Structure 1
């Protein structure tokens, strides 16, 4: 009978739906579990970064161990000798905003980004991407990624500038390591250090000048080639600079770029806080923070007011270590911004202090050196040589990691766009 057949079909449908309910619940539970793990991993990774000592304290000698670098951490822990020696203490974390710390930060970003992509895409119905608020949040994240690519380019060129400073400092080191130190070596060292300090000061002075006049002028990183520096750091008009790097657009500003990335970054509320909106917000926050920290550390065009361009709600447990880092870096930035320095990179700050001390020594140089003064100069030269060594070893790998972050964002953006394209095609009604 037709009625019985219809009744049977209805009962069969209910049975199918009942069988599907546990599957749906299990999927939902798995999604919540994945999201919870993602938040915990973010908190752990940034807690490790927060454990680094502030740049205001000198780096301990043990921090120079190569095992502090992300690339060597796994090999050190996996070695048989390390496993047998139960009394070996792990090396202390690198100083905040040092080259090694920035490498750890970028490694953290890459790990978080890979896990985020798994949470967002793997095993998920793509149709969810077309529902609010995801349909708005994903394009926002993709737009932030585009702006982050510009920041990566600027930071890469900034690292090149720091490498040039390292070469100038190395000239001074080689000159002052001669024994005995003569007038010619002191003049050569002073010339290189004067060029170094002038380049650092002019970089931030031009940024401040452009900002105070309400306009930005097209400029290049001002660098002096070897032999092109002036004899007196106070007489900057006598310095003959040649551009070794890149020209930038008149309107480009690192601070404005970070501000644009964070302007519409709002934490999800209510039911959105347990759905896809949360990992999208977390990843967007990580992206903005990492770019903000890079810009604060490495010379970039126009960074005034940078410390005010990031706001993270304090009630979010996973964000607590990130907020702690933001406060530490922000405080340092406000102090250094007033003085006009070339960024917060720990090695650059130390180099600037030692270089100034050696310039002061050169200005008052008298031959022959007193024993006490010679010991003091030797200590400064040894410190500058160690800074140059760290830069020589770390800046190249740092640039490679920035490029890796750049290419990872390009690939991830393309993958998400492919998913969105599939969603768009599946939403087109099929004509019958």
Structure 2
């Protein structure tokens, strides 16, 4: 069943909570069925992402390509919608105030704030990829000219030099002006944050505290912080609401980790060592498979210092190196065989630019949608907690 269909089926089944509060003691079997469905849907979605990526072009899109990342973000959006339905829809607020769920939700909302930070960093990274695309388009425009002369090769060589410099940037030196246009230290709930969360939501909810990205901001440290306090539910917790909170936390961590690995972000060193997902969960099998594959690629990336694992950027880097060799050894008139080889590489580079043109903006829009979705969900959870506290009798 397609993801959108089984999501609608799931939301339809859980919508009975709108008119009837389900208490764990009163309808335990029904609650367990909902939790089981959430696990199964999560596992199915990630299994679809992992299915035969090596069979490209027959499978649709290659692993870690722009189109694959768009599917990955869509999976997170679908999981987030179902998670919110499980946690909030028709829920008696007093249920989520019981320990350990109250503490787990506080940790979860802190992770959500870090997701917002990373969403903005990834969106900025997409902008940097678009600059690489523009440089590659200059190369294509110059080398598509017939006949290719010294002027065209010099123009292409200049653009190629800038392109290769951008594609081999060191993460530790990414405090570049293009990464320093904005920061993402979002307001957190508390007495020092200035008003209650409803007031903050009215005025933009998560407001940047500074207009310049801090030099010590680290995508890797954000991922590491998201993994802190991420403990496997045990005992009675494993069959209650702690379970979907744990699943959704792992889903958020993995998707953010994959995006940071693929898209240029500030300071990503040691990214492959920052989290592990327990293997005993059925929903985790496909995530672990993708995690292992990305981790191996990341280790190669760190050795050669390339800007990211995005499939289009990897191909662009290889083509750029080949075209630089051609430009460095160019003598007019070039041999016909050499020109044919160059034409094939230029056509491939043009195809990559086209895929970037078609996919980068929708990917960036999805990231923004995710950002706003997380803000709304976080506010709704805070509202539920506040309502639960307000309904408790004063002793």
TM range (shorter): 0.7 to 0.9
Corresponding position: 1:265 with 2:230: yes
Other-structure match for 1:397: 362
**1:40 aligned to 2:5?**
no
Say if 1:52 and 1:95, in contact at 8 Å, map to a contact too. no
Provide the C-alpha distance between the structure 1 equivalents of 2:370 and 2:304, rounded to a whole number of angstroms.
Answer: 31
How far residue 247 of structure 1 moved from its aligned partner, in angstroms, is: 4.9
- Partners of 1:43 and 1:123 in 2: how far apart? 25
Whether the aligned pair in 2 keeps the contact of 1:205 and 1:340 (CA below 8 Å) is: no
Structure 1 partner of 2:273: 308
Paired residue for 2:294? 329
* Equivalent residue, structure 2, for 1:116: 83
> How does 1:50-129 map onto structure 2 within 5 Å?
50-53=50-53, 59-60=56-57, 92-129=59-96
Check 1:199–1:258 CA distance in 2 against 1; reply closer, same or farther (3 A cut). same
Q: Report if the CA contact (8 A) 2:172-2:266 is conserved.
A: no
Structure 1 residues 222, 119: closer, same or farther in 2, change over 3 A? closer
Report the CA distance shift for 1:271/1:205 in structure 2 as closer, same or farther (over 3 A): closer
Instruction: Check conservation: 1:32, 1:274, Cα contact below 8 A.
Output: yes
Greater relative contact order structure (CA < 8 Å, 6+ sep): 2
Could you tell me how far apart the structure 2 residues matched to 1:95 and 1:247 are?
A: 35
User: Aligned partners of 2:72, 2:177: CA distance in 1, in Å?
Assistant: 28
Residue 221 of structure 1, aligned match among 171, 178, 182: 178
8 Å CA contact retained: 1:199, 1:222: no
TM-score normalised according to structure 2 size: 0.84
C-alpha displacement of 1:134: 0.2
Q: Does 1:200 align with 2:167?
A: yes
* 1:407 to 1:34, Cα distance in 2 relative to 1, 3 A: same
Per-residue CA shift, 1:245-279, capped at 9, x if unaligned? x9520220000010000121111011110000000
Write out per-residue CA displacement over residues 5-45 of structure 1, whole angstroms, 9 at most, x where no aligned residue.
xxxxxxxxxxxxxxxxx997662111100100100000100
1:194-235 deviations in whole A, cap 9, x for unaligned? Answer: 00111222343625xxxxxxxxxx542389xxxxxxxxxxxx
Query: Equivalent residues in 2 for 1:5-20 (5 A)?
Result: none
**Counterpart-to-counterpart distance in 2, 1:107 and 1:390:** 18
* Contact 1:219–1:247 (Cα < 8 Å) also in 2: no
Aligned residues: 344
Secondary structure class of the residue paired with 2:178: strand
* Structure with bigger gyration radius: 1
1:52 touches 1:94 (CA, 8 Å); kept in 2? no
Distance 1:247 1:199, change over 3 A: farther
**1:367 partnered with 2:332:** yes
RMSD: 1.9
Find the residue that maps to 2:168 and give its secondary structure: helix
C-alpha contact (below 8 Å) 2:172/2:269 kept by paired residues: no
Change (3 A) 1:363 1:285: same
1:156 shift after superposition: 0.3
Partner SS for 1:221: helix
TM-score scaled by structure 1? 0.77
1:219 and 1:248 in contact (8 A); partners too:
no
The structure-2 alpha-carbon separation of the partners of 1:24 and 1:110, relative to structure 1 and needing over 3 Å to count, comes to closer
Q: Which residue of structure 2 lines up, in the alignment, with residue 156 of structure 1?
A: 123
SS of corresponding position for 2:147:
coil
Quickly say closer, same or farther: Cα 1:155–1:23, change in 2 above 3 A.
closer
Aligned partners of 2:179 and 2:266 also within 8 Å: no
Residue 109 of structure 2 corresponds to residue 139 of structure 1: no
CA contact (8 A) 1:53 1:94 kept: yes
Query: 1:289-337: CA deviations, max 9, x gaps?
Result: 1110000000000000001111100111111100101000001001111
Question: Is contact 1:51–1:93 with CA below 8 Å preserved after alignment?
Answer: no
8 Å contact 1:109–1:286 — kept in the other structure?
yes
DSSP-derived class of the 2:169 partner: helix
For residues 422 and 324 of structure 1, what CA distance do their matches in structure 2 show? Answer: 41
Q: Which runs of 5+ in 1 are unaligned?
A: 1-21, 63-91, 208-217, 224-245
